[in-house]
Amino acid sequence: MLKKKTVDDINVKGKRVLVRCDFNVPLKDGKITDENRLVAALPTIKKLIADGGRVILCSHLGKPKGVADPKLSLAPVAARLSELLGQEVKFAADDNVVGPNAKAAVEAMKDGDVILLQNTRYRAEETKNGEEFSKELASLADVFVNDAFGTAHRAHCSNVGVTKYIKGDCVVGYLMQKEIKYLSNAVDDPKRPFVAILGGAKVADKLNVISNLLEKCDTLIIGGGMAYTFLKAKGYEVGTSLLDETKVDYCKEMLEKAQKLGKKLLLPVDAVVTDHFPEPIDAEIETAVVDADKIPADKMGMDIGPKTVALYTDAVKTAKTVVWNGPMGVFENPTLAKGTKAVAAALAETDAVTIIGGGDSAAAVNQLGYGSKMTHISTGGGASLEFLEGKDLPGVVAADDAE
Protein backbone atom coordinates (compact mmCIF):
# COMPACT_ATOMS: atom_id res chain seq x y z
CA MET A 1 0.00 0.00 0.00
CA LEU A 2 1.05 3.58 -0.69
CA LYS A 3 2.59 4.97 2.50
CA LYS A 4 2.89 8.70 3.13
CA LYS A 5 4.02 10.68 6.18
CA THR A 6 1.01 11.94 8.14
CA VAL A 7 0.25 14.55 10.80
CA ASP A 8 1.02 11.85 13.39
CA ASP A 9 4.65 11.71 12.21
CA ILE A 10 5.57 15.37 12.82
CA ASN A 11 6.01 17.82 15.68
CA VAL A 12 4.20 21.10 14.96
CA LYS A 13 4.53 22.87 18.33
CA GLY A 14 5.19 26.57 17.71
CA LYS A 15 5.38 25.97 13.96
CA ARG A 16 3.32 27.63 11.23
CA VAL A 17 1.37 24.87 9.48
CA LEU A 18 -0.22 25.50 6.08
CA VAL A 19 -3.13 23.07 5.57
CA ARG A 20 -4.71 22.56 2.15
CA CYS A 21 -8.34 21.63 2.82
CA ASP A 22 -11.27 21.02 0.50
CA PHE A 23 -13.79 23.69 1.46
CA ASN A 24 -15.39 23.71 -1.99
CA VAL A 25 -18.86 23.71 -0.43
CA PRO A 26 -22.21 24.59 -2.03
CA LEU A 27 -23.39 28.11 -1.15
CA LYS A 28 -26.85 29.65 -1.51
CA ASP A 29 -27.28 33.36 -0.73
CA GLY A 30 -23.98 33.26 1.17
CA LYS A 31 -25.07 30.31 3.33
CA ILE A 32 -23.42 26.85 3.25
CA THR A 33 -26.02 24.25 2.21
CA ASP A 34 -23.91 21.12 2.79
CA GLU A 35 -21.08 21.17 5.33
CA ASN A 36 -19.84 17.57 4.94
CA ARG A 37 -16.47 18.80 3.67
CA LEU A 38 -15.99 21.12 6.65
CA VAL A 39 -16.82 18.32 9.10
CA ALA A 40 -14.44 15.96 7.25
CA ALA A 41 -11.56 18.42 7.77
CA LEU A 42 -12.08 18.84 11.53
CA PRO A 43 -10.04 15.85 12.86
CA THR A 44 -6.84 17.09 11.18
CA ILE A 45 -7.40 20.73 12.21
CA LYS A 46 -8.17 19.74 15.83
CA LYS A 47 -5.07 17.53 16.00
CA LEU A 48 -2.84 20.41 14.82
CA ILE A 49 -4.43 22.85 17.31
CA ALA A 50 -4.02 20.35 20.18
CA ASP A 51 -0.36 19.85 19.26
CA GLY A 52 0.32 23.61 19.47
CA GLY A 53 0.60 24.32 15.75
CA ARG A 54 -0.22 27.72 14.26
CA VAL A 55 -2.78 26.59 11.72
CA ILE A 56 -3.15 28.41 8.38
CA LEU A 57 -5.97 26.93 6.28
CA CYS A 58 -6.35 27.38 2.53
CA SER A 59 -8.80 26.09 -0.10
CA HIS A 60 -10.46 26.91 -3.39
CA LEU A 61 -14.20 27.50 -3.77
CA GLY A 62 -15.96 27.26 -7.13
CA LYS A 63 -14.35 28.59 -10.29
CA PRO A 64 -13.61 32.31 -9.97
CA LYS A 65 -11.05 31.90 -12.82
CA GLY A 66 -8.36 34.09 -11.34
CA VAL A 67 -10.65 37.01 -10.46
CA ALA A 68 -11.81 38.05 -6.98
CA ASP A 69 -15.53 37.20 -6.91
CA PRO A 70 -17.30 38.20 -3.66
CA LYS A 71 -19.88 35.44 -4.22
CA LEU A 72 -17.06 32.87 -3.95
CA SER A 73 -15.36 34.32 -0.89
CA LEU A 74 -14.43 31.87 1.88
CA ALA A 75 -15.73 34.29 4.56
CA PRO A 76 -18.84 32.11 5.29
CA VAL A 77 -16.54 29.09 5.71
CA ALA A 78 -14.41 30.93 8.31
CA ALA A 79 -17.58 31.86 10.23
CA ARG A 80 -18.96 28.30 10.24
CA LEU A 81 -15.56 26.75 11.08
CA SER A 82 -15.32 29.09 14.10
CA GLU A 83 -18.62 27.59 15.36
CA LEU A 84 -17.60 23.99 14.61
CA LEU A 85 -14.20 24.36 16.32
CA GLY A 86 -15.45 26.46 19.23
CA GLN A 87 -12.74 29.05 18.64
CA GLU A 88 -12.17 31.97 16.28
CA VAL A 89 -10.99 31.20 12.77
CA LYS A 90 -9.58 34.54 11.65
CA PHE A 91 -10.34 35.28 7.99
CA ALA A 92 -7.59 36.96 5.96
CA ALA A 93 -9.57 38.78 3.28
CA ASP A 94 -6.88 39.52 0.67
CA ASP A 95 -7.98 39.36 -2.97
CA ASN A 96 -4.43 38.28 -3.85
CA VAL A 97 -4.62 35.59 -1.08
CA VAL A 98 -1.15 36.20 0.36
CA GLY A 99 -1.54 39.92 1.06
CA PRO A 100 -1.07 42.33 4.00
CA ASN A 101 -4.00 40.85 6.00
CA ALA A 102 -2.68 37.31 5.70
CA LYS A 103 0.90 38.31 6.50
CA ALA A 104 -0.13 40.37 9.56
CA ALA A 105 -2.47 37.62 10.82
CA VAL A 106 0.26 34.97 10.51
CA GLU A 107 2.79 37.28 12.21
CA ALA A 108 0.43 37.73 15.19
CA MET A 109 -0.38 34.02 15.61
CA LYS A 110 0.05 32.17 18.88
CA ASP A 111 0.22 28.39 19.29
CA GLY A 112 -3.22 26.85 18.61
CA ASP A 113 -4.53 29.83 16.60
CA VAL A 114 -6.31 29.27 13.29
CA ILE A 115 -6.61 31.52 10.25
CA LEU A 116 -8.20 30.94 6.85
CA LEU A 117 -6.81 32.47 3.65
CA GLN A 118 -9.01 33.74 0.82
CA ASN A 119 -10.06 31.49 -2.11
CA THR A 120 -6.82 30.25 -3.74
CA ARG A 121 -8.45 30.41 -7.18
CA TYR A 122 -8.71 34.18 -6.93
CA ARG A 123 -5.17 33.85 -8.28
CA ALA A 124 -4.97 32.81 -11.94
CA GLU A 125 -1.62 31.02 -11.31
CA GLU A 126 -3.23 28.57 -8.84
CA THR A 127 -4.53 26.14 -11.47
CA LYS A 128 -1.39 26.58 -13.60
CA ASN A 129 0.90 25.67 -10.68
CA GLY A 130 2.72 29.00 -11.06
CA GLU A 131 6.01 29.40 -9.22
CA GLU A 132 5.43 32.85 -7.73
CA PHE A 133 2.15 31.99 -5.98
CA SER A 134 3.61 28.67 -4.76
CA LYS A 135 6.54 30.59 -3.21
CA GLU A 136 4.19 33.14 -1.59
CA LEU A 137 2.12 30.39 0.03
CA ALA A 138 5.26 28.60 1.23
CA SER A 139 6.63 31.83 2.74
CA LEU A 140 3.78 31.78 5.31
CA ALA A 141 4.61 28.38 6.78
CA ASP A 142 7.21 25.98 8.14
CA VAL A 143 5.25 22.77 7.48
CA PHE A 144 2.65 21.73 4.89
CA VAL A 145 -0.30 19.36 5.35
CA ASN A 146 -2.43 18.27 2.39
CA ASP A 147 -5.89 17.12 3.44
CA ALA A 148 -7.74 17.88 0.18
CA PHE A 149 -8.26 14.59 -1.64
CA GLY A 150 -10.87 16.20 -3.92
CA THR A 151 -8.11 18.13 -5.72
CA ALA A 152 -5.34 15.49 -5.43
CA HIS A 153 -5.62 14.65 -9.16
CA ARG A 154 -4.66 18.24 -10.08
CA ALA A 155 -1.20 19.79 -9.81
CA HIS A 156 -1.96 23.26 -8.43
CA CYS A 157 0.08 25.76 -6.40
CA SER A 158 -1.72 25.07 -3.12
CA ASN A 159 -1.32 21.28 -3.16
CA VAL A 160 1.78 20.54 -5.28
CA GLY A 161 3.76 23.69 -6.13
CA VAL A 162 3.99 24.82 -2.51
CA THR A 163 5.73 21.55 -1.49
CA LYS A 164 8.83 22.55 -3.51
CA TYR A 165 9.41 25.65 -1.39
CA ILE A 166 8.34 24.64 2.13
CA LYS A 167 11.51 24.03 4.14
CA GLY A 168 9.95 21.55 6.60
CA ASP A 169 7.82 18.41 6.29
CA CYS A 170 5.11 17.94 3.67
CA VAL A 171 2.61 15.38 4.98
CA VAL A 172 -0.99 14.25 4.53
CA GLY A 173 -3.88 14.84 6.93
CA TYR A 174 -6.29 12.24 8.33
CA LEU A 175 -8.79 12.58 5.50
CA MET A 176 -6.15 12.03 2.80
CA GLN A 177 -4.70 9.14 4.82
CA LYS A 178 -8.13 7.48 4.99
CA GLU A 179 -8.75 7.94 1.24
CA ILE A 180 -5.36 6.47 0.34
CA LYS A 181 -5.86 3.53 2.71
CA TYR A 182 -9.31 2.49 1.49
CA LEU A 183 -8.81 3.13 -2.22
CA SER A 184 -5.37 1.57 -2.47
CA ASN A 185 -6.45 -1.47 -0.43
CA ALA A 186 -9.42 -1.93 -2.75
CA VAL A 187 -7.26 -1.74 -5.86
CA ASP A 188 -4.10 -3.51 -4.69
CA ASP A 189 -5.15 -5.90 -1.95
CA PRO A 190 -8.93 -6.38 -1.80
CA LYS A 191 -10.71 -8.98 0.29
CA ARG A 192 -12.41 -11.27 -2.22
CA PRO A 193 -14.87 -11.63 -3.84
CA PHE A 194 -14.28 -8.06 -5.05
CA VAL A 195 -17.26 -6.49 -6.86
CA ALA A 196 -16.94 -3.18 -8.72
CA ILE A 197 -20.07 -1.26 -9.72
CA LEU A 198 -19.78 1.44 -12.37
CA GLY A 199 -22.63 3.69 -13.42
CA GLY A 200 -23.15 7.27 -14.49
CA ALA A 201 -23.73 8.77 -17.89
CA LYS A 202 -20.69 8.33 -20.09
CA VAL A 203 -18.44 5.41 -20.99
CA ALA A 204 -15.80 7.96 -22.07
CA ASP A 205 -15.38 9.18 -18.46
CA LYS A 206 -14.59 5.68 -17.26
CA LEU A 207 -12.61 4.07 -20.11
CA ASN A 208 -9.46 3.34 -18.12
CA VAL A 209 -11.37 2.59 -14.92
CA ILE A 210 -13.34 -0.19 -16.66
CA SER A 211 -10.17 -1.72 -18.09
CA ASN A 212 -8.18 -1.43 -14.84
CA LEU A 213 -10.96 -2.74 -12.59
CA LEU A 214 -11.60 -5.72 -14.87
CA GLU A 215 -8.05 -6.85 -14.07
CA LYS A 216 -8.51 -6.36 -10.32
CA CYS A 217 -12.11 -7.37 -9.51
CA ASP A 218 -14.02 -10.66 -9.68
CA THR A 219 -17.30 -9.15 -10.91
CA LEU A 220 -17.85 -5.86 -12.74
CA ILE A 221 -21.40 -4.48 -12.76
CA ILE A 222 -22.37 -1.84 -15.32
CA GLY A 223 -25.39 0.44 -14.87
CA GLY A 224 -26.50 4.00 -15.59
CA GLY A 225 -26.39 5.71 -18.99
CA MET A 226 -23.13 4.00 -19.92
CA ALA A 227 -24.84 0.57 -19.91
CA TYR A 228 -26.63 1.34 -23.20
CA THR A 229 -23.37 1.59 -25.13
CA PHE A 230 -22.49 -1.88 -23.80
CA LEU A 231 -25.94 -3.19 -24.80
CA LYS A 232 -25.41 -1.71 -28.27
CA ALA A 233 -22.05 -3.54 -28.39
CA LYS A 234 -24.02 -6.76 -27.89
CA GLY A 235 -26.11 -5.87 -30.92
CA TYR A 236 -29.23 -4.73 -29.03
CA GLU A 237 -31.59 -1.91 -30.02
CA VAL A 238 -31.27 0.85 -27.41
CA GLY A 239 -33.91 3.28 -28.74
CA THR A 240 -33.22 6.91 -27.81
CA SER A 241 -31.15 5.96 -24.73
CA LEU A 242 -27.85 7.66 -24.05
CA LEU A 243 -25.35 6.18 -26.49
CA ASP A 244 -21.72 6.87 -27.29
CA GLU A 245 -21.35 5.54 -30.85
CA THR A 246 -17.58 6.13 -30.78
CA LYS A 247 -17.16 3.75 -27.81
CA VAL A 248 -19.17 0.74 -29.06
CA ASP A 249 -16.00 -1.05 -30.25
CA TYR A 250 -14.30 -0.31 -26.93
CA CYS A 251 -17.25 -1.90 -25.09
CA LYS A 252 -16.93 -4.98 -27.35
CA GLU A 253 -13.25 -5.19 -26.39
CA MET A 254 -14.14 -5.00 -22.68
CA LEU A 255 -16.72 -7.79 -23.05
CA GLU A 256 -14.05 -9.93 -24.72
CA LYS A 257 -11.47 -8.96 -22.08
CA ALA A 258 -13.81 -10.05 -19.26
CA GLN A 259 -14.32 -13.40 -20.97
CA LYS A 260 -10.59 -13.89 -21.49
CA LEU A 261 -9.80 -13.07 -17.86
CA GLY A 262 -12.63 -15.26 -16.59
CA LYS A 263 -14.35 -12.29 -14.91
CA LYS A 264 -18.09 -11.72 -14.66
CA LEU A 265 -19.24 -8.56 -16.44
CA LEU A 266 -22.91 -7.96 -15.61
CA LEU A 267 -25.13 -5.79 -17.81
CA PRO A 268 -28.81 -4.86 -17.34
CA VAL A 269 -31.26 -7.62 -18.33
CA ASP A 270 -34.22 -5.22 -18.18
CA ALA A 271 -34.68 -1.45 -18.13
CA VAL A 272 -37.13 1.20 -16.99
CA VAL A 273 -37.96 3.25 -20.09
CA THR A 274 -39.73 6.55 -20.76
CA ASP A 275 -40.55 8.45 -23.92
CA HIS A 276 -38.72 11.64 -22.85
CA PHE A 277 -36.28 12.97 -20.25
CA PRO A 278 -38.12 14.48 -17.23
CA GLU A 279 -38.24 18.29 -17.21
CA PRO A 280 -37.68 19.46 -14.51
CA ILE A 281 -35.58 16.48 -13.51
CA ASP A 282 -37.81 15.51 -10.56
CA ALA A 283 -41.11 15.82 -12.50
CA GLU A 284 -43.62 12.96 -12.49
CA ILE A 285 -43.07 10.68 -15.47
CA GLU A 286 -44.72 7.62 -16.96
CA THR A 287 -42.50 4.55 -17.21
CA ALA A 288 -42.58 0.99 -18.53
CA VAL A 289 -40.27 -1.98 -17.88
CA VAL A 290 -38.89 -3.88 -20.89
CA ASP A 291 -36.23 -6.54 -21.42
CA ALA A 292 -32.83 -5.07 -22.23
CA ASP A 293 -32.87 -6.60 -25.73
CA LYS A 294 -36.36 -5.23 -26.48
CA ILE A 295 -36.08 -1.47 -25.91
CA PRO A 296 -38.54 0.17 -28.37
CA ALA A 297 -36.95 2.47 -30.94
CA ASP A 298 -38.82 5.52 -29.55
CA LYS A 299 -38.04 4.91 -25.84
CA MET A 300 -35.07 5.74 -23.63
CA GLY A 301 -33.65 3.65 -20.80
CA MET A 302 -33.59 5.66 -17.55
CA ASP A 303 -32.96 3.08 -14.82
CA ILE A 304 -32.27 -0.62 -14.30
CA GLY A 305 -35.37 -2.81 -14.09
CA PRO A 306 -36.47 -5.20 -11.28
CA LYS A 307 -34.78 -8.33 -12.78
CA THR A 308 -31.50 -6.40 -13.03
CA VAL A 309 -31.92 -5.16 -9.45
CA ALA A 310 -32.20 -8.79 -8.32
CA LEU A 311 -29.13 -9.80 -10.38
CA TYR A 312 -26.98 -6.92 -9.11
CA THR A 313 -28.02 -7.15 -5.45
CA ASP A 314 -27.34 -10.91 -5.48
CA ALA A 315 -23.80 -10.25 -6.73
CA VAL A 316 -23.26 -7.76 -3.89
CA LYS A 317 -24.54 -10.10 -1.13
CA THR A 318 -21.54 -12.46 -1.28
CA ALA A 319 -18.93 -9.73 -1.82
CA LYS A 320 -16.19 -8.91 0.69
CA THR A 321 -15.12 -5.66 -1.04
CA VAL A 322 -17.38 -3.39 -3.11
CA VAL A 323 -16.34 -0.23 -4.93
CA TRP A 324 -19.21 1.80 -6.39
CA ASN A 325 -18.87 4.79 -8.69
CA GLY A 326 -21.87 6.20 -10.54
CA PRO A 327 -25.66 5.85 -10.13
CA MET A 328 -27.79 3.19 -11.86
CA GLY A 329 -30.25 5.68 -13.34
CA VAL A 330 -31.60 9.24 -13.10
CA PHE A 331 -31.58 9.04 -9.28
CA GLU A 332 -32.60 12.70 -8.89
CA ASN A 333 -36.12 11.64 -9.99
CA PRO A 334 -38.00 9.56 -7.35
CA THR A 335 -39.56 7.31 -10.04
CA LEU A 336 -36.17 6.64 -11.64
CA ALA A 337 -34.17 6.23 -8.42
CA LYS A 338 -35.30 2.69 -7.61
CA GLY A 339 -32.27 0.94 -9.12
CA THR A 340 -29.76 3.21 -7.37
CA LYS A 341 -31.71 2.92 -4.10
CA ALA A 342 -31.80 -0.90 -4.29
CA VAL A 343 -28.03 -1.10 -4.88
CA ALA A 344 -27.41 1.33 -1.99
CA ALA A 345 -29.68 -0.77 0.27
CA ALA A 346 -27.84 -3.97 -0.71
CA LEU A 347 -24.51 -2.33 0.14
CA ALA A 348 -25.90 -1.12 3.48
CA GLU A 349 -26.88 -4.68 4.42
CA THR A 350 -23.66 -6.45 3.42
CA ASP A 351 -20.71 -6.99 5.77
CA ALA A 352 -18.31 -6.18 2.91
CA VAL A 353 -15.94 -3.21 2.91
CA THR A 354 -18.03 -0.72 0.92
CA ILE A 355 -16.27 2.18 -0.78
CA ILE A 356 -18.29 4.87 -2.56
CA GLY A 357 -16.25 6.74 -5.15
CA GLY A 358 -17.34 10.35 -4.58
CA GLY A 359 -19.35 12.52 -6.99
CA ASP A 360 -22.90 11.43 -7.86
CA SER A 361 -22.60 8.08 -6.04
CA ALA A 362 -21.75 9.87 -2.79
CA ALA A 363 -24.63 12.31 -3.35
CA ALA A 364 -26.97 9.38 -4.07
CA VAL A 365 -26.14 7.31 -0.96
CA ASN A 366 -26.33 10.39 1.27
CA GLN A 367 -29.56 11.62 -0.33
CA LEU A 368 -31.15 8.16 0.00
CA GLY A 369 -30.15 7.93 3.66
CA TYR A 370 -27.53 5.16 3.46
CA GLY A 371 -24.38 7.24 3.95
CA SER A 372 -23.75 6.13 7.55
CA LYS A 373 -23.90 2.45 6.54
CA MET A 374 -20.96 2.67 4.09
CA THR A 375 -17.38 1.90 5.17
CA HIS A 376 -15.94 4.86 3.27
CA ILE A 377 -17.44 7.60 1.11
CA SER A 378 -14.73 9.29 -0.94
CA THR A 379 -14.63 13.09 -0.91
CA GLY A 380 -13.23 13.26 -4.44
CA GLY A 381 -15.16 12.23 -7.54
CA GLY A 382 -12.50 12.86 -10.19
CA ALA A 383 -9.64 12.01 -7.81
CA SER A 384 -11.13 8.67 -6.77
CA LEU A 385 -11.83 7.76 -10.41
CA GLU A 386 -8.21 8.47 -11.39
CA PHE A 387 -7.01 6.47 -8.38
CA LEU A 388 -9.18 3.53 -9.50
CA GLU A 389 -7.65 3.90 -12.98
CA GLY A 390 -4.29 3.21 -11.43
CA LYS A 391 -2.95 6.74 -11.98
CA ASP A 392 -0.54 8.52 -9.65
CA LEU A 393 -2.27 11.58 -8.14
CA PRO A 394 0.04 14.64 -8.08
CA GLY A 395 -1.32 15.83 -4.71
CA VAL A 396 -0.51 12.46 -3.13
CA VAL A 397 2.87 12.03 -4.82
CA ALA A 398 4.00 15.48 -3.59
CA ALA A 399 3.74 14.47 0.09
CA ASP A 400 6.80 12.97 1.81
CA ASP A 401 7.00 9.17 1.76
CA ALA A 402 6.80 7.35 5.09
CA GLU A 403 10.08 5.68 6.03
Domain match, 153 and 188 both: no
Contact 116, 77 (CB under 8 A): yes
User: Closest Cα partner for 262 from 328, 193, 202, 316?
Assistant: 193
Catalytic pick among 5, 16, 20, 37? 37
The tens digit of pLDDT for each residue in 242-281 reads 999 999 999 999 999 999 999 999 999 999 999 999 999 9
| 60 marked ligand binding residue | yes
In terms of domains, do 263 and 375 share one? yes
CA–CA gap between residue 282 and residue 333 (Å, rounded): 4
87 and 157 within one domain: yes
Catalytic residue among 150, 359, 380, 395: 359
Instruction: Tell me: is residue 332 an annotated ligand-binding position.
Output: yes
342 and 210, same domain (yes or no): yes
Which stretch of 1-10, 252-261, 379-388 has the lowest confidence by average pLDDT?
Answer: 379-388
Flag whether pLDDT at 190 surpasses 90: yes
Closest CA to 312 of 273, 356, 342, 353: 342
Neighbours of 296 (CB within 10 A): 13
Instruction: Assess whether 202 carries a catalytic annotation.
Output: yes
Asked if residue 134 is part of any domain, the answer here is: yes
pLDDT, mean over the chain: 95
Whether 306 and 346 map to the same domain: the answer is yes
User: Where residue 201 falls among pLDDT bands split at 50, 70, 90?
Assistant: confident
Q: pLDDT: is 183 or 309 the higher one?
A: 309
Asked which of 154, 174, 194 is the last residue of a domain, the reply is: 174
Q: How remote is the C-alpha of 116 from its chain's centroid?
A: 23
Q: What is the mean pLDDT of residues 343-366?
A: 90
For position 385, what pLDDT does the model report? 85
Q: Is 206 part of any known ligand binding site?
A: yes
Q: What is the pTM of this model?
A: 0.88
Residue-wise burial string across 232-258, b where 16 or more C-beta atoms lie within 10 A, e elsewhere: bbeebebbbbbbbeebbebbeebeebb
The reply to whether 61 sits in an annotated binding site is yes
Give the domain extent around 363: 182-389
pLDDT digits (tens, 9 = 90+) for 224-233: 999 999 999 9
Same domain, 12 and 148: yes
Tens of pLDDT along 127-171? 999 999 999 999 999 999 999 999 999 999 999 999 999 999 999
Residues 9-24: b if buried by 16+ CB within 10 A, e if exposed: ebebeebbbbbbbbbb
Last residue of a domain, one of 174, 194, 213: 174
Amino acid at 163: T
pLDDT digits (tens, 9 = 90+) for 57-72: 999 999 999 999 999 9
Is there a domain that residue 397 lies in?
A: no
Residue 228 three-state SS: helix
pLDDT at 1 over 70: no
Of 112, 130, 168, 382, catalytic? 382
Q: Is residue 302 part of a domain?
A: yes
How far is the C-alpha of 307 from the C-alpha of 339, rounded, in Å?
A: 10
- pLDDT band of residue 205 (cuts 50, 70, 90) is confident
Segment 297-344, tens digit of pLDDT = 999 999 999 999 999 999 999 999 999 999 999 999 999 999 999 999
The pLDDT of residue 123? 97
Q: Quick one: pLDDT at residue 376?
A: 92
Measure the CA–CA gap between 283 and 255, rounded to whole angstroms: 36
**Among the options 181, 202, 263, 264, which is catalytic?**
202
Residue 2 included in any domain:
no
Is 121 annotated to bind ligand? yes
Q: Does residue 37 have a known ligand-binding role?
A: yes
Residue 238 falls inside a structural domain = yes
Domain boundary among 140, 174, 208: 174
Mapping DSSP to helix (H, G, I), strand (E, B) and coil, where does residue 242 land? coil
Kindly state whether residues 150 and 274 are assigned to the same domain. no
Q: For residues 179 and 388, is the Cβ–Cβ distance under 8 A?
A: no
In the predicted model, what is the mean pLDDT of residues 88-93?
98
| CA dist., res. 264 & res. 347, Å (int) | 19
Residue 401 lies in a domain: no
Does one domain contain both 192 and 157? no
- Domain with residue 382: its CATH number is 3.40.50.1260
Q: Is the pLDDT of residue 237 over 80?
A: yes
Residue 357 has pLDDT above 90, yes or no: no
Q: Which three-class secondary structure state does DSSP give residue 270?
A: strand
Check whether residue 224 and residue 123 sit in a common domain: no
Which SS3 state, helix, strand or coil, does residue 353 take? strand
The number of domains in the chain is: 2
Catalytic annotation on 200? Answer: no
- Is residue 399 situated within a structural domain? no
Flag whether 396 is in a domain.
no
Mean pLDDT of 208-215: 93
Averaged pLDDT for residues 165-182:
96
Question: What percentage of residues in the chain have a pLDDT greater than 90?
Answer: 86
Question: Which stretch of DSSP H or E encloses residue 136?
Answer: helix 131-139
Q: Is 382 tagged catalytic?
A: yes
Same domain for 249 and 342: yes
The reply to whether 155 and 216 lie within a common domain is no
Q: Is 86 a catalytic residue?
A: no
Q: 388: pLDDT confidence band, cut at 50, 70 and 90?
A: confident
Has 129 been labeled as part of a binding site? no
Check residue 74 and report its DSSP letter.
S
Q: Does 54 count as an annotated binding residue?
A: no
> Of 201 and 108, which is predicted with more confidence?
108
Q: Which amino acid is located at 223 in the chain? A: G
Residues 113 and 190 in one domain: no
